[in-house]
Amino acid sequence: ASQKVHVAVYYEALCPDSRSFVLKQLNPTYQKLSTNIEVELVPYGKAKTTKTSDGYQFICQHGPIECQANIIHACSIDVIKDPSVQLQFVACMIENNIDPVRIMKTCAERIPIDLESIKKCSNTGRGQELLAKYGEMTNSLVPRVSFIPTITLDGSSEHQVRILKNLLKEVCQRFKVPPKECLS
């Protein structure tokens, strides 16, 4: 098997910088290198989690609507097993991220996914648990997240500025033997 580069994206559903990174960097890079990269999406960002008697409460950087959107993202990542469909759905949602529930339905009409399972997950404790887990993952990054999105390549978060400008180039530099898509 050829080497795969692991790309983890720590982002927020309503964050303009996250939106621009997903649409202009992550998506095109994935289209080119889909067989050579593993993308892990971590929707949470600079939110705060409080455990309550009946689950979790979240405070999100862009308000309650972002918390709702983050939960829908977390649920869709959990429900959709195919990484390419997962990314298509998240990209579709993040592109039009004003009304998460409406957009979830619109994107589900375009991309064949199991909408009922995503809805069920986001309206129950399951969605909260997933988001809380993403919060723990985000908060355990070293160094701590200061800018959203933060991207790690094979677990390393150095060279953020370069990654945000040119993900393809940075990913390609990590291959011992670069795939042909890196050379064109």
Domain extent, residue 130, equals 5-182
Write out pLDDT tens, residues 10-63.
999 999 999 999 999 999 999 999 999 999 999 999 999 999 998 999 999 999
The CATH number covering residue 171 comes to: 3.40.30.10
The total number of structural domains that make up the chain: 1
Write out pLDDT tens, residues 49-61.
999 998 999 999 9
| 3 vs 127 pLDDT, higher one | 127
Residue 101: is its pLDDT beyond 80? yes
> What is the mean predicted confidence (pLDDT) over 138-143?
94
Residue 80: is its pLDDT beyond 60? yes
Please report the DSSP string for 52-108 in residue order.
ETTEEEEE-TT-HHHHHHHHHHHHHHHH---HHHHHHHHHHHHHTTTSHHHHHHHHH
